[in-house]
Amino acid sequence: VRTEPDAGLDLMNPPWITTVSENMEAQDEKSQTSRPSDSKSLTITSSTPQLLKSELPTEELMGKGQKLDSLSPDIWSDEDNDEILETTDSDGLKDKAPPDRPYWANKIEYLLAQVGFSVGLSTIWRFPYLCFHNGGGSFLIIYILMLFLIGVPLLFLEMAAGQRMRQGSIGVWKVISPWIGGVGYTSFMVCCIVGLYYSVLMAWSLFYLVQSFQSPLPWSVCPLLRNSSTYDPECVRTTSTTYFWYRNVLKATDKIEMGGLPVKHLSVSVFVTWLIICISMIRGPKSSGKMLYVSVILPYFILFCLLIRSLTLEGAKFGFDSLLAAQVRSLYSVEVWRRTGNQIFLSMGHGFGSFIAISSYIPRSNNCVMDAFAVALLNLVASLTAMVFVFATMGHLATKNNNKCYVKNAKTVMNLIVTGVLPPEVQPPDSLYYEPSSIYPKWFKDLPEQMKSMILPHLSNCNLSEQLKEGPGVAFVAITDTISVFSGSTLWAIVIFVLLANLGLSTMIGIMQGIITPLQDTFASLRKQTKLLTVAICVLMFLGSLIFVRPSGSYYVNLLDDYWASLPLLLIVILENVAMAWIYGARRFLADLIIMLGRPISPIFRWLWCFLSPFVLLVLFVNTLIHLCLKNITYLAWDSSISNEVIRTYPSWAKVLLIISIVITILPIPAYFLYTLIDVAFPVSVIHSKVTVIFKPEAKGNSLKPHPRLQVMQSQKVDEMG
């Protein structure tokens, strides 16, 4: 059997040892063979471009290969869409998946899985925090621009790859190009590490949820000393919410160097967290799909209720005005663009392999273009809703604190009048204590200039904008502070922590899909042991998560979340983009998708994949690397001596640990590249029980256009092949 490889890509995909197989389950990792669509199909793999076409029956492959290779080179051309749809039977690529591969019960469950993984805790809190500290409206403009020009095309790429190949991240990128087969292993490792500490975030939410069934809330007041009516002095020196977080929840040490055994109540919370995850995943998509109806839809309903409630608060308008106030200089700040880009990839979930895994359980005819836009829009809606809620609450807190400042100043003036320092003429009206926000500014404005100069040295500066800066940030302390704003705080505490727990659960389901699916695709025997595999992974992940519930565990969570995650994920997405756009070919990939979906796809995706996305990703990667190398890595720690949060620098061994973690995570990429290089340079015999294929390259003089020769020998044993 002879095949004609695509000459344009042979330098990246040299002649390969391949396999002809009649078994749908067989997939030899070394020979990079894709699955046939049925038992009568002949799978032939000679270069990367034919990998996606190899699932066609042999007759269709030989007849249609020339048509696909003759696509117009014009990157903006729409002619290819019409030609392919007219001349190619769209059912040819809609072959069936392996009979033992499960499906999502319906399209709704599939979309819920994608949205649930995409909308996580960082969407709710990190997004408003970054918006406030990076230009407000300017940040929104940059975010929306990058989301639709970079985020959506890359999301579509991952969804389409998983849907087309019907495999997890490990198998997909081996098929696209063996040279970057290590990308799937790196995605797998990222899911494992993120799953370890992300489950702890969910455990914190569960612990707070249990504590919320009390009145008054345990973090609303300082505790009393044992056998005394005096409040704990450490709590008195700070706020009750901060004290509860560090002393009751984390049992935090003052430094990361101080260790200790896992905290008992957090260990129980982590165990319950992994038990819930295990039950949700125990039957694969069948069980997780049903759980997603609650864990995805409920948070959107709660967010909507919180939004309506926050807009009725006093001062909400001021917070909203602060949100819309754009800082033009932020549009030209490289740092703002870097933070915005990192937020898109960390929030959306590119590079984890979870979108690929989730999409591998949906029929190939599914319209993944619309799915990518739907997931991005729902993620954006959740981010904007959370942002308006946070800013409205911040405006209320700022107004509340500002009113306290007005009342305090009024009392100071009254005391100065009593002592004779100030004349009685400057006495504020009694109504000021009832409506300080409107009466105080009017009273102060009407004072004579001479009186103002006498009063000002004794008054505090009540600036609403400065009060706003003290609003909620990305922390559980800020969440508990926010709850105190609402009347009926116990009910709202339960509602908010149910929201956070469900967001954590839906994201963890997506992360677990990025772990389980590649394992089952790599080791076919595990497909029949889904329950046992799920339980085993959850047990191992639970044991690993105990590292992060020690008294210093939260400092390790910050180290990984703030400094480790960005670099591996950006590198993964860069290689995915380059592999699909330049190694396999964006034009060819879109042609495959047009056949698969049976509908035209805008050629703008080719331009975005080939030029804009790689450039932006590379700039982000270099900028993040420089930022990480030049900046001191710090963490927010608790100092019990002063009862306050302090910024500390991570010790040298923590920096070494960070570097080792990054290197180990990306190590599979160069390692698999070397493995592939050795495999090409020193080919060995491949013997199968049914079929053996010998690959004989042509002479070196024709190396640019090799025509490999496949010799098929049924049921023969070969001792050695050249």
Structure tokens at 377: 């829009």
Rounded average pLDDT over 652-672: 95
With b for 16 or more beta-carbon neighbours within 10 A and e for fewer, the 697-718 pattern comes to beeeeeeeebebebeeeeeeee
Task: Note the pTM of the prediction, 2 decimals.
Answer: 0.78
166: left (phi over 0), alpha (psi -120 to 50) or beta: left
Q: DSSP letter for 675, please.
A: H
Per-residue model confidence as pLDDT tens digits over 184-194:
999 999 999 99
Residue 20: what pLDDT?
Answer: 33
Taking the alpha carbons of 526, 532, 534, 539 in that order, is the dihedral positive or negative? negative
Does the structure show a pLDDT above 90 at 467?
no
Rounded average pLDDT over 590-601: 88
With cut-offs at 50, 70 and 90, classify the pLDDT of residue 30.
very low
Does the structure show a pLDDT above 90 at 542?
yes
Identify the helix (H) or strand (E) that includes residue 647: strand 644-649
Binding-site residue numbers for Na(+) are 116, 119, 347, 379, 503
392, 311 Cβ separation under 8 angstroms: yes
Residue 112: what pLDDT?
Answer: 93
State how far Cα 676 lies from the chain centre.
30
Per-residue model confidence as pLDDT tens digits over 491-531:
999 999 999 999 999 999 999 999 999 999 888 888 888 89
Per-residue model confidence as pLDDT tens digits over 99-110:
567 888 899 999
In single-letter form, the type of residue at position 201 comes to: L
Superfamily of domain 107-400+472-679: Amino acid/polyamine transporter I (1.20.1740.10)
Per-residue model confidence as pLDDT tens digits over 550-578:
999 999 999 998 899 999 999 999 999 99
**Beta bridge pairs of residue 694:** 711
Biggest CA-to-CA distance, the chain: 111
Question: Any idea where the domains of the chain sit in the sequence?
Answer: 107-400+472-679
* C-alpha–C-alpha distance, residues 384 and 381, integer Å: 5
State how far Cα 171 lies from the chain centre.
21
Q: What does the chain come to in residues?
A: 722
Residue 377: what pLDDT?
Answer: 95
* C-alpha–C-alpha distance, residues 19 and 344, integer Å: 41
Structure tokens at 268: 């129980």
551, 263 Cβ separation under 8 angstroms: yes
- Per cent of the chain over pLDDT 70 is 79
DSSP SS3 for 457: helix
Does the structure show a pLDDT above 70 at 76?
no
Helices (H), 419-488: 436-446, 449-455, 464-468, 476-483
Does the structure show a pLDDT above 50 at 423?
yes
Residue 464: what pLDDT?
Answer: 58
393, 472 Cβ separation under 8 angstroms: yes
Binding-site residue numbers are 116, 119, 347, 379, 503
Per-residue model confidence as pLDDT tens digits over 611-653:
999 999 999 999 999 988 888 899 988 888 888 888 899 999 9
Helices (H), 631-714: 652-666, 668-681
Neighbours of 91 (CB within 10 A): 11
